[in-house]
Copies of this chain bind each other. A is one copy, B any other.
Amino acid sequence: MGSLRSKLIIENTIHVQRAIRRITQQQLADAVGVTRATIVALEKGNYNPSLDLAFRLALYFEVDLGELFTVKGERDELHKD
């Protein structure tokens, strides 16, 4: 299974971060330079942003990338020939 070759399941806490800061999807979208539709899709977990966008979001929220995005079901499946 989870062998780094296939797509990972990545969860994010954008919805939470946004709630904390009390900003709207539109405000966040403007801040990081995407459309609201992109924020909606991201919060729904339906896709997989570019690293670039991920960094912009993390920078905006002033959190670490690993705090905003976490790999689900990660275990040491790697390097086990």
Contact = CB atoms under 8 A, between A and B. Distances in A.
Interface of A: 4-8, 10, 30-33, 48-56, 59-60, 62, 64-66, 69, 71, 74, 78-79
Each complex incorporates copies of this chain amounting to 2
A65 B62 contact: no
A65 B53 CA distance: 14
B64 A66 contact: yes
A32 B55 CA distance: 21
A27 to B, nearest CB: 12
Contacts of A7: 52
Contact of A4 (B10, B49, B50, B60): B60
A54 to B, nearest CB: 5
